[in-house]
Structure 1
């Protein structure tokens, strides 16, 4: 089955769009090859997977990490001006019980970085997550954003969208050994550690809640989407 989001715990729309970008559920047969063709190794520095040797490697990641998890869904981001795949964005750790989720799989392909794409994709997704059901959203109460402490660009992106820093989770992530150089500020391990060659990472936790969204952040996000390059 091509739909990697088939087990997601909420119904997903066929698309979310404005005049600049469109989000559609990620389909391996439609989007995986274009994604792999557009990435560069450095884009994976702060991710728990990659670089990708083949398209099949990426599909395997989707099959093991996304398809069986009812709390995870991934969208393909389409740039409407060019019609090209511009990246991915999604949600992880979604809870129907507690009406919350975390933004994840934020990967903007290099040629679309520092353009309108990321702000518009994130804005569309936030509307879907935090708008009330009567407005076409899920009506969640909380959306989180997590970034390794030295991934300052991710933290800044979240703060521009109205997320607030809430604290640091220490030793929150075991970094893949292949990414030690990119994450040289990660903590060293102790003698006898089960993964002695993998650095440890602290993560900055940010959050955006429904009352902040309705109290002015929605308008801030909409303005950001309009003024993006």
Structure 2
């Protein structure tokens, strides 16, 4: 059973909800979001083809959050809620998060990027990444964390993910061979991209333009 007690996201930076007119990013809480996420994705195992894990049930996914994410203060996952949909309660449109966050190096990595099938090829993915970038790279005076570097990793064969990063202004750095050990593959390489504070001075406008588009 999913624990319904008050939930501590246990992240190394102060956490708040992020939103614009289209989306709200709210810290993922298994007791609140796991069931809706599972119902939206349970028949679509292909969304995990480029992930090192594949949950087998709602409880299995909740355990992944509770064992891989919550105990690790460098990792945070948001539920992506679509405010543009009709209805009182915005539906869950996906997940997005930060990995390897470091207050010492003022850096983090975008990860856990999953858009549920009904919201793919819409405004959701671009706006979710954009909201997270603004939070990470905007200075504290504008409500951001003032990070110096945001990293983005993609499997080299995930063309759609790599194109999305490039459209948003991430710079390709390298393909890191044998980047991680995973049970589902003998070899797992990663294409590494970054967006840094000096890129952001002009890159922010580019991201905002992309967010205003439909896709």
Match of 1:188 in 2: none
Greater Rg over alpha carbons, structure: 1
Are residues 1:19 and 2:21 paired?
Answer: yes
- Counterpart of 1:224 (choices 207, 210, 215) is 210
Match of 1:48 in 2: 52
Match of 1:101 in 2: 108
- Aligned-pair distance for 1:175? 3.7
Are residues 1:212 and 2:199 paired?
Answer: yes
TM-score by length of 1: 0.87
**Secondary structure of 2:98's match?**
strand
In 1: Cα distance, 2:178 partner to 2:143 partner: 38
- Aligned-pair distance for 1:173? 2.5
- Aligned-pair distance for 1:78? 0.4
Where in structure 2 are the equivalents of 1:99-138 lying within 5 Å? 99-138=106-145
- Aligned-pair distance for 1:36? 0.7
In 2: Cα distance, 1:150 partner to 1:173 partner: 16
Are residues 1:159 and 2:166 paired?
Answer: yes
Ranges in structure 2 where 5+ consecutive residues have no aligned partner: none
Match of 1:73 in 2: 76
In 1: Cα distance, 2:129 partner to 2:212 partner: 13
Match of 1:57 in 2: 60
Task: Give aligned pairs, total.
Answer: 205
- Aligned-pair distance for 1:54? 1.4
Are residues 1:3 and 2:7 paired?
Answer: yes
Runs of 4+ in structure 1 deviating by more than 2 angstroms, as ranges, are 1-4, 173-177
Ranges in structure 1 where 5+ consecutive residues have no aligned partner: 178-197
**1:2 and 1:28 in contact (8 A); partners too:** no
TM-score by length of 2: 0.92
- Aligned-pair distance for 1:4? 5.3
Q: Per-residue displacement from partner, 1:18-50 (whole Å, max 9, x unpaired)?
A: 111110111111100000111110000011111
Query: What is the root-mean-square deviation of aligned Cα atoms in Å?
Result: 1.1
In 2: Cα distance, 1:49 partner to 1:9 partner: 24
**1:149 and 1:204 in contact (8 A); partners too:** yes
Q: Per-residue displacement from partner, 1:161-219 (whole Å, max 9, x unpaired)?
A: 11000111111123433xxxxxxxxxxxxxxxxxxxx32021110000001101x1100
